[in-house]
Chains A and B, each alone.
Chain A
Amino acid sequence: MGYEEPFMQLQFADPGWIKIDTAVLRVRGELSDIVLEMDRVLKDDAVHALCANLGISSAGFIFIDPVKQFTRFFDNDSDQQKTYHTEYLWQNTEAKHLWVDTVHRLFVQVREAQGQLQKSEATTENRTEDFFRYLPKDDCVDVYFGEAERNSRLQYTLHYVSLGETLFTMLAWRNLLAAVNFGLGETSLTGLDVPFDAALRLPLACEWNGASLLRMKYADEQNQIVELWHTVCNSTSTLSSVFAALGVSASEGNKQSLERRALVTFIAMLAEQPGTDFVDLPDEQLNLKIQALIPCFLRRLYSGELKEDVLASLHALERYARFPVMPFHVWHVLDGSPKCYMVSPVWTSQQYSVPVDDVPCRHLGLALCAVQPLSKIDWTIPELHGSPPPSWCSEAGPVLVANVIRLMARPLVEQHLYSSAVRELQLRLEDEFTTKTQNVIHRDGELAQ
C-alpha cells in the first residue's frame, strides 16, 4: 500500500510535540508525580493544538501486568490515578463545560463493567474486552468488514472502527434499547419493527450488558451520570431524533452528508450489496434496514451461539460491539460531532502476553482513543474529490497519530513495567538483606575481621 504520511515534518517542529518530548525526557519520580506532570503537559495549549490537528479527541492509557494480573487504568473510586489521559476535545464548548468529566467517568464505568464481566465469567484467563478482542494480533485479524479494512488493520496494527460501523452500531443499539423500552425485550429479533417516531418512555436504565453503570463510591458522581443519560435520552426521545442527532437523517438536504454516506456504505457492505446506494431511502426505511441487519451484524462480531430475543441481542451488541457504544453515543449526541474509536498499542512485550480467544496478545500497553474519523484509513468515508473535509474529520496519517500517542505513553511504560519489575527485585533484595542483617546483629560471636 503506497500510503504517504502528510505530516511527517510535524514531529520535529510542532510545539506540542516538543512539549511532550521534553516532558517525557525529564519527568521522573514516583508514579503520582509522573501522572500529575504528564496530566499537566497533556493539557497544555500546544499539546491541545497538536491533538486537534491530528484529530485525537481523547486518549487514555491502559496497561496490563500479565505476571501480577494487574490492570492499570482509571478508577472512579480513587482520588489518585495511576494513569493519565489527554484532554477531551469537544466541538461544542458549552456542552464540554457541562459534561466533560461525566463523559470520562462514563467511559471508565463501562471499562469497569467490562473488567467485572471478564472476571466473573473467567473460566480461562482469556481477556474479553473490545480493545484486546479486536486489536490485530501477530498478523491475525478475525473480525473485519472488507479487505481494505483488513489490510489497514494489518499494516498499522491498529483497531480503528470506521465511521459507518460506528453509526450503524449506535443506531442498532438505540433500536434494541427502544424495543426493550416498548416492552419487546423477549420477542424475537426476526421481523423486529420498532416505531420510528414514537416517543420513548423515561427513564431508561443506565446499564451496560445488564450491569448498572452507577456502582460508584461518590453519590454526586452517580447523580451526574444519571443526569447525563437522561439529558441524552430527552434530546433523542424518538428513533427519528436519534437519526438527526447523529447527522444521518435525510431531512433538510442532509441526504449527501458524510455521516449518512458512511452509514449507507457500511449497510451496503453488511447487506452484501456492494454498489447499492441506500442514500435515497427515507430514514424510516433505512432504519428498518438497520433493524433487519442486526442479526447479521452480531454474527459477524461473534461466531458463537446467540439467543435471538431482543434483550439478549442488546446485551450481545454491548458486549461484542467493537467500541464502547454507550459513552461514544452519549458524547456524539452531546457534542454534535462524530468520533471514532481507535486502539493503538503503546507497548508490546517480547516476553509476555495475555490470551484473547486463546490467541496470545503481546500488546500490553494500549492507548484507548476517540479520534475524529480518519479519512486516510476509513473505508466508509467517500472520496472528497478535492472538496474540503468537514471540521470533524481528520486527514492525519495513522502512523503519525500512533507515534504521538506512543510518545505520550512512554513514562508509563517505565513506571508500569520496568519500575514494577525493579521494585519487585528491590523488595526481594530488601527482604534478603533484612534477614541477613538481623541474623548478623543478633547472633553470638565476633563479626568478620
Chain B
Amino acid sequence: MTTIWTEFGFSQTPYRTTPLAPNDFDYELFTSRARGESASFLTAMDSNSGSFVIVSGDVGIGKTSFVNIQQHLLANGGAEFGPTLIPCFTSTPLGQEDTPVALARRFVHEAISNIERYCGQTNQSVPTACAKVREWMFSHKPMTSGYQITVGPLGIGRSVVVPPAVDATLETWRDVLQLLATETREHLSVEGFVVCMENAENCEIHDLAKLLMGYRDVLFVIEGIWWILIGPSHLYEQLTIADRRVSQRIKGSGIEMSHFTIEEFHDLIERRVKKYRKTETAVSPLSKNIHDLLFRASKGEVRFTLDAASTLVDTIVMKVREEVQKDHLRPVAPQVARAMLSKVLQKELIDKQIPDTLAKRVLSAEVRKYVEQHRKTSNFFEKIKCFASGSLTENDFEQVGYDKADRFRDEFLERFRAEGLLFRESREGQHRYSLKGFAWLANELSVDVL
C-alpha cells in the first residue's frame, strides 16, 4: 500500500505509534531508558516456575514496547539473566465487561497462538496439546459428555478430561493452561510462556483487584506461566490499597516506567529513521527543534509526540500539495503530475527536512482549529488562560471561577486531563495540573485564540 512514507523513501513512518513487537527488527528500534527498569523487570521475571509482574506508567510512554522487547530478550537468550520464555506476541486487553471465565478462555486462545508462532519462528514442532486444545475449543460437534485431551504416544500419556468448551469453568481453563505449560516446558526447551494483560486502566481498581483475586490461587500459581499486567501509573500501590492479598502475589513492587528524556526521544527517532529509510542519506522529516517542541508539549508522552509529528507531516504534505496543484494547467495525465509532484515534494520537503517556519505555521493553524472546536463545546479555553504561567491545584478553584475544589477537580481538571490537555503530577502530596498537548502548544506558539 502506498502511503506518504513509502512515497517519500521510507518503508514506513518513522513516527510509528504502534508498540514494538518482540522480534529482532523491532529490537533495533528500541531505546532503553537509563534508569534501570530493564534490570528490575528481569529480576521480577527471574524465577523457575513463574511469576506475576506489574508494569505501570503514564499513558503512551512505551510500556507495551518495553515489555515486548524484554520478552524478546528472554526468548532468544539476549537477556543478561532470567528464564527462557515464549513471548506473548498478542496481549490480552482487559475490559470492564469481561468475566473471569471469558478472560481465561482468551488467555488459553492467545497462549496457543503464541506457542504456534514461536514454534514457527524457531522451526520446532508445535506440541500436540495445542492442536488438541484448539480442536476442543472450536469444536462444533454437540457433546453431552466430557472430552478427553490426551497427549503422548499412542494415546498413553497426560490427559485432561474437560467438559464442552461452552461449559468450561475457571478451573477447566486452569487445567488446560496447566497442560499447555507442562507440554511447552517438556517439548520446547523453554521454561514456559508469558501471558500478558494490558489496558488495566479500563477497569475500576476494585473490579481489577477482584478479578486478580479470583485468579490469584487458580491461575497465577500454574507452573510454567509468567503473568504480566500492564496498567496505569502506580498500579501496584493502588492494588495494595484496594486489596493487599493481590499485591502479595506480585513479584517485587511493580515496575514503574519513567518518561523518556529528550535525548532518549531523539535517539528513538533516529533509530526509526535509520531503520525505515530506503536511502542512506534520509533524515527525519521534521527537525530536532520541532521534535523538541512536540515532546515538551507531550510532557513525556511519547505516543502523543509521535502521533502529532506524523499528523503534522501528513498535513504539511497535503497542504503544500494542494497549493502547488491549485493552478497547475499543464496538460499531462493526472498520475504523471502526481508522480512528479511526489518527487518534488520528497526533494524539497522531506529530503531537505521541513523548514521549522513552515512546520510552526501549519502547527499553529492546526492548534487554532482545535482550539476553536473546543471553544464551541465548553468554556475550557477561557479558563485555561489561568494555567499559562504555570500549574494549578484543585485549591485554586476560585481563580478559574469554580465555587468548590472538588467540582473544579472532577468537572474540569480530571476531565481535561483525560482528554490529554492537562498534565497531572504529584508534588508534596498534592496533584498539580499544567498545560499539555494542544493546550500547551497554543500557549507556546501564541495562538491568538488564547
Chain A residues near B (Cβ < 8 Å) = 425-426, 428-430, 432-434, 436-438, 440-442, 445-449
Given contacts A434-B347, A438-B348, contact A429 B323 (CB under 8 A): no
B340-A441 in contact (CB<8A): no
Looking at the complex, which one of A428, A434, A445, A448 makes contact with B344 (CB distance below 8 Å)?
A434
> CB-defined interface of B306-337 with A at 8 Å, one 1/0 digit per residue?
00000000001001101110101010100011
Residue B361 at the A interface, CB < 8 A?
A: yes
Residue B439 at the A interface, CB < 8 A?
A: no
B336 neighbours in A (Cβ, 8 Å): 426, 429
Known: A428-B330, A437-B348, A442-B357. 17 other contacts (CB 8 A): A425-B332, A426-B340, A429-B337, A430-B340, A433-B328, A433-B341, A434-B344, A436-B328, A440-B324, A442-B355, A442-B358, A446-B361, A447-B316, A447-B320, A447-B362, A447-B365, A449-B365
Looking at the complex, which one of A429, A432, A441 makes contact with B320 (CB distance below 8 Å)?
A441
CA distance A200 to B362 in the complex (A): 85
B358 neighbours in A (Cβ, 8 Å): 441-442
B322-A441 in contact (CB<8A): no
B357 neighbours in A (Cβ, 8 Å): 442
A448-B319 in contact (CB<8A): yes
Looking at the complex, which one of B332, B337, B349 makes contact with A441 (CB distance below 8 Å)?
B349
Given contacts A446-B365, A447-B362, contact A437 B319 (CB under 8 A): no
The 9 closest A-B CB pairs, nearest first, are A447-B319, A433-B344, A436-B324, A440-B323, A437-B348, A429-B340, A448-B322, A440-B320, A434-B344
Residue B266 at the A interface, CB < 8 A?
A: no
B322 neighbours in A (Cβ, 8 Å): 447-448
Give B324's nearest chain A residue, CB to CB: A436
CA distance A429 to B348 in the complex (A): 15
B119 neighbours in A (Cβ, 8 Å): none
Query: How far apart are A438's CB and chain B's nearest CB, in angstroms?
Result: 6
> CB-defined interface of B353-376 with A at 8 Å, one 1/0 digit per residue?
001011001100100000000000
Interface class of chain B by DSSP: helix
B365-A441 in contact (CB<8A): no
Residue B188 at the A interface, CB < 8 A?
A: no
B 213-271 contacts with A by CB, 8 A: none
A434 neighbours in B (Cβ, 8 Å): 344, 347-348
Give B357's nearest chain A residue, CB to CB: A442
B345 neighbours in A (Cβ, 8 Å): 437
A425 neighbours in B (Cβ, 8 Å): 330, 332
A448 neighbours in B (Cβ, 8 Å): 319, 322-323, 326
Given contacts A447-B361, A448-B319, A448-B322, contact A441 B330 (CB under 8 A): no
Query: How far apart are B353's CB and chain A's nearest CB, in angstroms?
Result: 11
Residue B343 at the A interface, CB < 8 A?
A: yes
Looking at the complex, which one of B326, B349, B362, B365 makes contact with A437 (CB distance below 8 Å)?
B349
A442 neighbours in B (Cβ, 8 Å): 355, 357-358
A432 neighbours in B (Cβ, 8 Å): 328, 330
CA distance A447 to B337 in the complex (A): 21
B320-A433 in contact (CB<8A): no
Looking at the complex, which one of A429, A430, A441, A447 makes contact with B355 (CB distance below 8 Å)?
A441
A437 neighbours in B (Cβ, 8 Å): 320, 324, 344-345, 348-349
CA distance A222 to B426 in the complex (A): 87
What's the interface size class on B, roughly?
20 to 34
Looking at the complex, which one of A426, A430, A447 makes contact with B323 (CB distance below 8 Å)?
A447
B330 neighbours in A (Cβ, 8 Å): 425, 428-429, 432
A428 neighbours in B (Cβ, 8 Å): 330
A438 neighbours in B (Cβ, 8 Å): 348
Give B323's nearest chain A residue, CB to CB: A440
CA distance A428 to B340 in the complex (A): 10
Given contacts A437-B324, A437-B345, A437-B349, contact A429 B365 (CB under 8 A): no
A440 neighbours in B (Cβ, 8 Å): 320, 323-324
Most buried by B among A425, A430, A433, A436: A433
CA distance A425 to B323 in the complex (A): 21
B337 neighbours in A (Cβ, 8 Å): 429
CA distance A323 to B435 in the complex (A): 87
CA distance A378 to B150 in the complex (A): 92
A433-B340 in contact (CB<8A): yes
Query: How far apart are A277's CB and chain B's nearest CB, in angstroms?
Result: 66
A446 neighbours in B (Cβ, 8 Å): 361, 365
A441-B362 in contact (CB<8A): no
Query: How far apart are B355's CB and chain A's nearest CB, in angstroms?
Result: 6
Most buried by B among A425, A441, A445, A448: A441
Most buried by A among B328, B337, B340: B340
10 A-B pairs in the complex with CB atoms less than 8 angstroms apart: A429-B332, A430-B340, A430-B344, A433-B340, A433-B341, A437-B344, A437-B345, A442-B357, A445-B361, A448-B319
B343 neighbours in A (Cβ, 8 Å): 430
Give B342's nearest chain A residue, CB to CB: A433
CA distance A426 to B336 in the complex (A): 8
Query: How far apart are B317's CB and chain A's nearest CB, in angstroms?
Result: 11
CA distance A408 to B336 in the complex (A): 29
Query: How far apart are A286's CB and chain B's nearest CB, in angstroms?
Result: 65
CA distance A17 to B214 in the complex (A): 80
CA distance A425 to B330 in the complex (A): 9
Query: How far apart are A229's CB and chain B's nearest CB, in angstroms?
Result: 51
Query: How far apart are A181's CB and chain B's nearest CB, in angstroms?
Result: 61
Give A441's nearest chain B residue, CB to CB: B358
CA distance A397 to B348 in the complex (A): 57
A447 neighbours in B (Cβ, 8 Å): 316, 319-320, 322-323, 361-362, 365
